[in-house]
Amino acid sequence: MESLVEFISVASETAKEAGHYLLQNLNRKKDISYKGQIDLVTNFDRRSEEIIYERLRKAFPGHSFLAEEEIRQERASDYCWLVDPLDGTTNYAHGLPVFCVSIALVYRGEIIAGVVYDPCRDELFTAGLGQGAYLNGSQVRVSTTSELDRSLLATGFPYDVRTSPDNNLNYFSRFAVKAQAVRRLGSAALDLCYVACGRFDGYWEMKLKPWDLAAGALLVKEAGGRVTDFQGNTFVFSCPNIVASNGLIHNSMLEIIASESVK
């Protein structure tokens, strides 16, 4: 395996470049199109993706590349970059400054590096497998809250929330009365980063894609947290449903999800 330090360094600079581009254009008129009823994409998503692809291709020409919007580059490589060029597109389209760039590197099926950059707060979250999780160069750890009713949680809703009965509203209702509070930021990557640095105690969501989760999941694990699917199985980046926490409230979260799932 090549150098994790180099991977994280290049991914960090790339995420910052794309993030600064997005921030500069936050208040500009956006060309918006729809991938689904409420699943939108802007011209700035696409340009951010191009910036990231160009930088990573130049640095690591033999690696595969999988991004949310359009770019797919499959190569005979052990390495694959998973990229969300703009996580929080709906926020961005409305001018709400809650969004980020998420970049992860997978090696032989395992997430080994993760970078999430929030240009609005100039916060760079980074993690390398076995090397800890960091915010702007300082190591971070998950919270020490041990009771669910004292916990601040986060979640999100799937793009088919209007049409599918499997839409997270049942879980949300249960957690809303069991936790201290539940927040909905609109960015899965930031939700996971906030679990990693202790701002949130736990997070759950469903029907997500690998580029939504990969970097953030590694950050939570490297910060001492726990990440699983809804059944408590070991998380893999291809899993669409995720529970992430400080570890102390994890079983309590899984119990609530299980109780709703059997209804």
Are residues 220 and 126 both part of a single domain? no
Instruction: Write down the residue that tokens 């390398």 correspond to.
Output: 128
Question: For the segment 134-170, what is each residue's pLDDT rounded down to a tens digit?
Answer: 999 999 999 999 999 999 999 998 766 677 767 788 8
Are residues 112 and 170 both part of a single domain? no
Q: How far is 217 from 226, CA to CA, in rounded Å? A: 9
40 has a pLDDT exceeding 70: no
Q: How far is CA 221 from CA 68, 166, 188, 195, 244, in A?
A: 23, 27, 15, 10, 9
Are residues 233 and 171 both part of a single domain? yes
Are residues 189 and 113 both part of a single domain? no
Q: How far is CA 256 from CA 96, 178, 186, 250, in A?
A: 32, 9, 22, 10
Question: For the segment 11-37, what is each residue's pLDDT rounded down to a tens digit?
Answer: 999 999 999 999 998 987 766 666 555
Are residues 171 and 256 both part of a single domain? yes
Q: What is the pLDDT of residue 165?
A: 66
SS3 86: strand
Question: For the segment 49-92, what is each residue's pLDDT rounded down to a tens digit?
Answer: 999 999 999 999 999 998 876 666 677 689 999 999 999 999 99
Are residues 15 and 117 both part of a single domain? yes
Q: What is the pLDDT of residue 46?
A: 85
Instruction: Write down the residue that tokens 């669409």 correspond to.
Output: 240
Query: How many domains are there within the chain?
Result: 2
Grade residue 128 by pLDDT with cuts at 50, 70 and 90. very high
- Domain of 196, CATH number, reads 3.40.190.80
Q: Of the residues 96, 121, 140, which one is the last residue of a structural domain?
A: 140
Q: How far is 221 from 201, CA to CA, in rounded Å? A: 13
Which domain, by its residues, includes 127?
4-140
SS3 82: strand
Helices 210-222 and 188-196: angle between axes, nearest 10 degrees:
0
pTM of this structure: 0.93
Are residues 163 and 75 both part of a single domain? no
The mean of the pLDDT values for the chain is 90
Q: What is the pLDDT of residue 28?
A: 78
